[in-house]
Amino acid sequence: MLQPERTIRSTCPYCGVGCQVDLLIKDDHIFRVEAPFDVAPNYGRLCAKGRFGMDYVTHPSRLTRPLIRKDIGEKPRQPIDIDGFREASWEEALELAAEKIAEIIKQVGGNAIGSFCSAKATNEDNYIFQKFIRGVVGTNNVDHCARLCHAASVAGLQIAIGSSAMSNSIAEMKDLDVFIITGSNTSETHPVISTFMREAVVNGGAKLIVVDPRGIEMTEFASLWLRQTPGTDVAVFKAMAQVIVAEELYNPAFISERTEGFDEYAASIMEWTPEWAESISGVPADMIRQAARMYATANAASIYWGMGISQSVHGTDNTLSLANLALLTGHIGRPGTGLNPLRGQNNVQGCSDSGGLPNVFPGYQRVDDPEIRAKFEADWGVALNPEVGLTTMEMVDAADSGAIRGYYVMGENPMMSEPDLRHARHVIEQLDFILVQDIFLNETGEYADIILPATSFAEKDGTFTNSDRRVQQIRTALPAPGEARHDWVITSQLARRVEEKLGRSKSAGFEFEHPEEIWDEMARLTPPFQGIGYKRLDREGGVHWPCPAPDHPGTPYLFEESFPRGKGQFSSIDFRSSEELPDENYPYILSTGRVLYHWHGGTMTRRSQLDHIYPEATVEINPDDARQLGVQEHTRVRVRSRRGQIEVKVLVTERSPQGTIFIPFHFAEAAANELTNDARDPQAKIPDFKFCAVAVDPV
C-alpha cells in the first residue's frame, strides 16, 4: 500500500459541515483523504466530495502566473479563453491593477468599485479583502455569495431574534427528538449532517417532518412528508402556527418571558386554517395538523432549512414563518432546539463573520454605527465610509447604470451564480476594469483584464468557520503551484500599491507575515472571537464562537438566556404567490439546486474525478410529464424560459412533482441560470432560483 510522506490535518473545502480531513501526501499529490474518528464535527465520516474530490488542487489547468488580457481596454469586452491572455510578472500585474483601481477612485470615488470576496477563502483572506475595500478603496461595496444563498435567512432571523447564525451544533443532531427539514436536500447538500440526522431517527427514535416538494432521500426517514406545491411554504407554516395557537399547544411561559408581539400575531393567524393552506399548497389539512402537534408537543424540536426556503422572492417571509413556530413553542435556547439555516459553502459563515458584507465590519458590527466605525478608524488609522455599501445584485444594477466602473472578484464566479446570466453578461461587458483572483480560469475570469493566481486550501494556513460557528484550521500540505500566492498576500500587496498611487501618507496596515497575525488583529476588534487563537485551535481542533475570552469554552448552542435583539419578535406575514407563474407558453415550474457529486459553479468538482461520475447536466422530470412530452430517460430536451434556453439530458423520476422540473446549477455548458429569474425578495434582495416558468421541448 502507498505510504504517505506526510499527513496533514485540514478542513474540507467544499460544504459548510466543515469535516476534518487528514490529507495523505506523496510526491506533492493528495493520494488519499481520511477522516479522524475522534474529531468533531464529522467523527470519521466524509462524503464523496471530501473523500474523492480533492484532486482538483493538482489539476493541470491551475493558474500559475499572473495574466493580462491582450486586448485590454477594448469595449465591449468579450469572454476569452486562456489564449486571449498573456503571462506577466507579479510586478507588472499588480502595478497595472493598482493603477486601474486608483484611476477609478481618483476620477469618480471608491463607490465606483464593486467587490466580491469569497466563501471559499479563509477568514484571514476575507478580513484583509474587506479591510482593503473599506480602508483603502473607501467603499463598503463588498459582498459574497451568501447574498445568493442565505440572505433571506439572515434577514428573517435578524428581525425575529437579532442573529442569523445556526443556533445549534452538529453534535446535538444525534440526540434530536423531533425535527423539521425544509428546503434542504440534506443527503446531497450536507451529506455528513444527514448521516447524523438519519442516526437520530434510526437509532434514537427521533421523529422527522420533511416539508419539501421534491421526493428527497430524507423523506424515506420521515414520519411525515408534507409535499407542498412549490412557492407555498408560508401557507403551510402559517397553518401549523394556527393549529398551535387554536389548540393551545404553545408555551405560555416562554412567550411571556422571551417574546413580544404574541397577541397581535395570534389574532392575525386565526383565519389561516389547515383547510385554507390545503387549498393553496395541496398538503392535506390533517397532515398539517399532525405536523403542528408533533412539533409543538416535543420535549425538544429543531428546524433545519436550506436554499429551498431562502432562495425565493418570499425567502424572508419563509424564515419569519419558521421563527414564529420556534417562538410559539419555546423550541429555541436549549440543546436540540433551535433555528438552523444549513450554510452552503465551506466558509460562508466565516466570510460573513469576517466582514464580507456591505453593512457590517467583522463580527456583524455595523458600518453606520459611529462608535463602531470610530473603533475601526482608530485601529486602522484611516477615515472610513459611513454609508452602507451595495449587495451583489445591487452592484450588478449599479454597473448597469454606470455607477460602478470596476470589479474586484476574489474566488467567486458571479458569471455562473448570478440569475438571468444574459443580463449579467451584458452588464459585465461594459465595465472599465475587472480584476479576478482565483485558482482556475472560470466563467468570470474570461471577462477579466487581469487575473492573479491564488493558492488553494491545500497550499496555505488559515481558518474556516463551519455552519455551526466552529472555527477550524486549514494547514499547508502542498507547495503553491508555479508563482501562485495566498489571497491575503495578493490583496495586501495590491493594497499597498493602491495606497501609494493615491498618495496616502499612512497605510491602513497590511504588513503581515502569517495569517495568525491577521486572525489576532480581527479578534482584537471583534468581541465574540476574542477567546479564539491559533494555539488554542491547534490544541482543541475547533472552537464555537461566541467565545469572548481565552478561558471561555465556546458556545455550541445559542440563546439560552436571551436573544441578541432582547425579546423574540413575532411577525404577521401575508401569503403571496410566486413572481412568475406557469402559463400556456411556459407551463412548467423550474427549480434549481445541487447534486451530491458537484459543487456550485463546478470550478472545483468538474476538475476532479467526481466529474467522471456525473459528467453532464440533467433535468429531473416526473414520469407523467415525461409521458405527456413524449420524452424518455437519457433523451435530450431543450428547456426555455423568457430569458434563455439550454439543452440537458432527461432523468425521469418521481422525485420531481408533476409540473415541476429540477436542474442542477453546476454545468457551464448548460447553465441553469440562463433560465432563472432575477426577481428578488424585497427585504433580503435574494433572487428566486427556485421558481420560474419554463417550457420543455424534445430535441
Give the nearest distance from C-beta 57 to ligand SF4 in angstroms.
14
Give the nearest distance from C-beta 278 to ligand SF4 in angstroms.
36
Give the nearest distance from C-beta 42 to ligand SF4 in angstroms.
6
What are 408's three cell numbers?
Answer: 474586484
- Collapsing DSSP to helix, strand or coil, 26 comes out as strand
Comparison of 101 and 193: residue with beta carbon closer to ligand SF4 = 193
| C-beta separation of 544 from 170 below 8 A | no
Give the nearest distance from C-beta 15 to ligand SF4 in angstroms.
3
Nearby residues of 23 by Cβ (< 8 Å), 6 or more positions away: 7, 8, 9, 10, 30, 33, 54, 458, 477
Comparison of 50 and 554: residue with beta carbon closer to ligand SF4 = 50
Comparison of 192 and 670: residue with beta carbon closer to ligand SF4 = 192
N-terminal to C-terminal alpha carbon distance within the chain = 49
Could you tell me where the beta strands, DSSP code E, fall in 430-526?
433-438, 450-453, 462-465, 470-474
Least Cα distance to 195 among 14, 19, 9 occurs for 19
Tell me how far the alpha carbon of residue 392 is from its chain's centroid: 13
Give the nearest distance from C-beta 515 to ligand SF4 in angstroms.
21
- DSSP assignment, residue 490? H
| C-beta separation of 344 from 322 below 8 A | no
- Cα–Cα distance for residue pair 427/289, rounded to 1 Å: 48
Comparison of 200 and 269: residue with beta carbon closer to ligand SF4 = 200
φ/ψ (deg, to 5) at 132:
-65, -50
Give the nearest distance from C-beta 571 to ligand SF4 in angstroms.
32
Comparison of 19 and 40: residue with beta carbon closer to ligand SF4 = 19
Comparison of 198 and 207: residue with beta carbon closer to ligand SF4 = 198
Give the nearest distance from C-beta 543 to ligand SF4 in angstroms.
18
- In the complex, the residues that contact ligand SF4 under the rule CB under 6 A are 12, 14-15, 17-19, 42, 46-47, 49-50, 190-192
Nearby residues of 220 by Cβ (< 8 Å), 6 or more positions away: none
User: How many C-beta atoms lie closer than 10 Å to residue 396's C-beta?
Assistant: 23
Comparison of 52 and 272: residue with beta carbon closer to ligand SF4 = 52
- Cα–Cα distance for residue pair 77/410, rounded to 1 Å: 20
| C-beta separation of 159 from 9 below 8 A | no
- Cα–Cα distance for residue pair 202/222, rounded to 1 Å: 10
Q: Which residue is nearest to ligand SF4 (CB)?
A: 50
DSSP letters of 164-178? Answer: -S-SS-GGGGGG-SE
Give the nearest distance from C-beta 347 to ligand SF4 in angstroms.
11
Comparison of 468 and 580: residue with beta carbon closer to ligand SF4 = 468
Backbone region of residue 326 per phi and psi (left: phi > 0; alpha: psi in -120 to 50; beta: other values): alpha
- Cα–Cα distance for residue pair 170/193, rounded to 1 Å: 7
Comparison of 50 and 138: residue with beta carbon closer to ligand SF4 = 50
- Collapsing DSSP to helix, strand or coil, 687 comes out as strand
| C-beta separation of 553 from 546 below 8 A | no
Comparison of 105 and 348: residue with beta carbon closer to ligand SF4 = 348
| C-beta separation of 439 from 484 below 8 A | yes
Give the nearest distance from C-beta 13 to ligand SF4 in angstroms.
8
What are 632's three cell numbers?
Answer: 424518455
Give the nearest distance from C-beta 477 to ligand SF4 in angstroms.
16
Comparison of 191 and 414: residue with beta carbon closer to ligand SF4 = 191
Widest CA span of the chain, in angstroms? 71
Give the nearest distance from C-beta 411 to ligand SF4 in angstroms.
17
